[in-house]
Amino acid sequence: MDLGIKGKRALVCAASKGLGRGCAEALAEAGVDLVLNARGAEALEATAEALRTAYGVNVVTVAADITAEEGRAAVLAEAAGVDILVTNAGGPPPGLWSDWDRDDFIKALDGNMLTPIALIKALMPAMIDKGWGRVVNITSGSVKAPIPQLGLSNAARAGLTGYVAGTARQVASKGVTINNMLPGIHATDRADQLDGGVAKAQNITLAEATAQRQATIPARRYGTAAEFGAMCAFLCSEKAGFIVGQNILLDGGAINATL
Ligand code: NAP
């Protein structure tokens, strides 16, 4: 399928690895030039070079913390005028409801709610001026079904989801869509980090913790970054202009719900 976005330009945040990289790769395959961000310069440049070589697209990198004001400014300096924005950042740490104080919540809100909102606010006006734009936020299945040990994530991502629900409907008439992608468990470093916590708590190996979790998923496996990226590229495509303010769950059936 021709996604109709060859030659457009995208900012993909937190994209040297994992789901962000999956999105970047699928956009590159569709012929989209990229501004890629992550904190670590080495992995970021390696990803950029791999995408340049594989797809012949132009890739600019900005090594910076996207959740910090200075980092965001550096990224936005390169990304001005992009047609496509994919927001992403690391997830907050797990814990118990009683663990977190105000500073922990502020950090989670900064990373997973206020950062994507700041990026949307900065890049949306140019999309509106052009009459075309796509925003995809990587959130979490925790928006639909809370994950008890990820209370910070449950809270911050729900806030972003509410903002997007209202904003998407304000800008849809300008040719700009905003949607969220809700990952269930995917095989990335983040999954290893979460399974590592379970392994430690239950005194089992990482492989055992992973197998235990896979057994709870109807698909009996974790998702891949490539599958996730393919959906992202479709949401960013010319074909997806009528998909507005939606929350697309990719979880192998893990959340047991009719809708
Ligand atoms: P990952 O494999 O750990 O990759 C995270 C990527 O983000 C890396 O490229 C990392 O590079 C970059 N990054 C992290 N913090 C950053 C920051 N502050 N500024 C710029 N770049 C940053 O994680 P993932 O699995 O792809 O997860 C992506 C998001 O989806 C996270 O918010 C996660 O909580 C959420 N999620 C993931 C899953 C899952 O199963 N994988 C499920 C639900 C939700 P540097 O470290 O070099 O910055």
| pTM, to two decimals | 0.97
What pLDDT digit, counting tens, does each position of 99-139 carry?
999 999 999 999 999 999 999 999 999 999 999 999 999 99
What pLDDT digit, counting tens, does each position of 185-228 carry?
999 998 998 899 999 999 999 999 999 999 999 999 999 999 99
CB of 91 sitting under 6 A from ligand 1: yes
CA of 58 to the centre of ligand 1 (A): 23
What pLDDT digit, counting tens, does each position of 44-81 carry?
999 999 999 999 999 999 999 999 999 999 999 999 99
CB of 223 sitting under 6 A from ligand 1: no
Q: What is the pLDDT of residue 194?
A: 87
Q: Rounded distance, CA 118 to CA 192, Å? A: 29
Give phi and psi for 198, each to the nearest 5: -65, -45
Which amino acid residue places its CA nearest to atom 13 of ligand 1? 14
Treating both helix axes as pointing N-terminal to C-terminal, what angle do 225-235 and 18-29 enclose, rounded to 10 degrees?
Answer: 50
**Which ligand 1 atom is at minimum distance from the Cα of 225?**
26
| pLDDT averaged over every residue in the chain | 97
Instruction: Mark 43-70 as b/e (b = at least 16 C-beta within 10 Å).
Output: ebbebbeebeeebebebebbbbbbbeee
